[in-house]
Amino acid sequence: MVYSRLSRRLRDTGYESFGDYLNWLESQPDGEEWQEFVNALTTNLTSFFREQHHFEILAQQLRSRPGQAWKLWCSAASTGEEPYSIIITALEALGSAPNFQLQASDIDSRVLEAAQQGVYRAESLKGMSSERLHRHFLRGTAGNAGMVRVKPELRRLVEFLQVNLIQDGWPFREPFDMVFCRNVMIYFDAATQRKVLERIHRVLKPGGLLFVGHAENFSDSRDLFTLKGKTVYERN
């Protein structure tokens, strides 16, 4: 996998061997190629309303305290389907002017650009109700037929930023009510997962919720989080 993903970088930069490419990369610690290198290696698979039960829990939580101001972080947002699913859920649960702040981040600059554009193939919305479709998306016409765009008023409700989960110095000042960190920790070893969980613990309010992916299990960190339901943890 690494071979095939990096081969393209070699072609684009004109290097003939991995060794030469890596030597060049390491000789320029602040060089722009590092971002391309990271972008080439990330796996960005995602979809709208992936792991539907999380959005049902999110809606229940929001409805249970309708007057509250909410602050959420979607920490591996990929191409945007996940943060837009969160915002759609919030609008449906809280009404059209929700007191709801959502920050969405990823390490990969290319997927963040795509997320900000909010343009998707219409078939990626397959299974979404026509009411949701009409309310939140615009259909492309002529040259853009077969594509949809997230409505600008929805896009404006998400703040996109670049954050590396495994690097110190996350740019957050106020704690979050909920954090989505789904299907990314699976790529980290156990020690790294623990460090990331400790950092998430620091940026979540006590009692705040952490949503993780279907194959992720952090029961070993029960000093930090208590399992509340299928892949949903509460911050201790």
Residue numbers annotated as active site: 5, 106
For residues 27-56, which are near ligand SAM according to CB under 6 A? 42-46, 50
Collect all residues with Cβ–Cβ distance below 8 Å to 72 and sequence separation of at least 6. Answer: 86, 100, 101, 102, 103, 176, 177, 178, 179, 180
Q: For residues 97 and 191, which CB has a smaller minimum distance to ligand SAM in the complex?
A: 191
Q: Could you give the CA distance from residue 23 to residue 119 in angstroms, rounded to a whole number?
A: 37
Chosen residue from 98, 118, 208, 213 binding ligand SAM by CB under 6 A: 213
Only one of the segments 1-9, 12-20, 64-72, 75-83 lies at the binding site for ligand SAM (rule: CB under 6 A); that segment is 75-83
Site membership for ligand SAM, residue 85 (CB under 6 A): no
For residues 168-207, which are near ligand SAM according to CB under 6 A? 182-184, 187
Return the residue matching tokens 């890596």.
22
Closest Cα to residue 232, out of 215, 222, 213?
Answer: 213
Give the CA distances from residue 22 to residues 7, 32, 34, 108, 207, in Å, rounded to whole numbers and listed in that order.
12, 14, 10, 19, 44
Q: For residues 147 and 166, which CB has a smaller minimum distance to ligand SAM in the complex?
A: 166
For residues 139-168, which are near ligand SAM according to CB under 6 A? 164-166
Binding positions for ligand SAM, rule: CB under 6 A = 42-46, 50, 76, 78, 82, 106-108, 111, 164-166, 182-184, 187, 213
